[in-house]
A and B are shown apart, each in its own frame.
Chain A
Amino acid sequence: GAGVSQSPSNKVTEKGKDVELRCDPISGHTALYWYRQRLGQGLEFLIYFQGNSAPDKSGLPSDRFSAERTGESVSTLTIQRTQQEDSAVYLCASSLAAADYNEQFFGPGTRLTVL
């Protein structure tokens, strides 16, 4: 079956512009996560959605970052007024549910470059 997909694969933007990154989770997965991976670093948690519950935004680094999810489907991560330090790979993952153990399946990520 189809895995987690993300678009675009690569995005180059100018400092100060807004960008939108998209994630399509695996069908039926109620939990969705966004992570950021800076060059040569591990993944940092950004935000988590679980069904219709309020999202956990505790990992968002600033108010320039926001994310939405429509029901249990597509999610978009928006970065406003991009800065050079926002350059990173943004990875999305989904799982059946957050309760107990359910494997998180990752998408291929979006590489964002801010010039």
Chain B
Amino acid sequence: AQTVTQSQPEMSVQEAETVTLSCTYDTSESDYYLFWYKQPPSRQMILVIRQEAYKQQNATENRFSVNFQKAAKSFSLKISDSQLGDAAMYFCAYRSRTGANSKLTFGKGITLSVRP
């Protein structure tokens, strides 16, 4: 079974600064997806960024980028130029590309606060 670990329960960043959120995972599969989701107080899960394991290039979406280290099974999220609206819980998630069930396996999440 796959597991996703987020060991930092909370982080804080100054507005306009850069912050990196860590995630490690464990799997015996070679083909999979990794995701970062944002959950604001409204509870709505919002997809921030995804990475296909077969791609060596790290995914980027505007101010969000990842550092994907497949051999180390590490998948960190970097938020540049942090904004007040980035304050939320962030979840790292894994999804297999094989098998019929495309369920997501989530880490416990990290609460990010942004200081003005």
Partners in one complex: yes
* Residues of A26-60 whose CB lies within 8 A of B: 31, 33, 35, 40-45, 48, 50, 53, 56, 58-59
* Residues of B31-67 whose CB lies within 8 A of A: 33, 42-47, 50, 52
Residue of B with least CB distance to A42: B106
Which bucket holds chain A's interface residue count?
Answer: 20 to 34
**Interface residues in B, total, Cβ within 8 A:** 24
In the complex, A58→B100 CA distance in Å?
13
B58 to chain A, nearest CB (A): 17
* Residues of A41-97 whose CB lies within 8 A of B: 41-45, 48, 50, 53, 56, 58-59, 89, 91, 93, 95
A108 touches B43 (CB 8 A): yes
B97: chain A residues at CB < 8 Å are 100-101
In the complex, A108→B41 CA distance in Å?
10
In the complex, A45→B16 CA distance in Å?
35
A59: chain B residues at CB < 8 Å are 103
A91 touches B103 (CB 8 A): no
A31, A106, A108, A111 pick with most chain B CB within 10 angstroms: A106
In the complex, A95→B35 CA distance in Å?
15
In the complex, A86→B20 CA distance in Å?
33
Given contact pairs A48-B102, A91-B45, enumerate 15 new A-B contacts (beta carbons under 8 Å). Answer: A31-B102, A33-B103, A40-B109, A41-B109, A42-B4, A45-B104, A45-B105, A48-B101, A56-B103, A104-B104, A106-B46, A107-B44, A108-B43, A109-B44, A111-B43
Which B residues are within 8 Å of any A CB, using their own CB? 4, 6, 33, 42-47, 50, 52, 91, 93, 97, 100-109
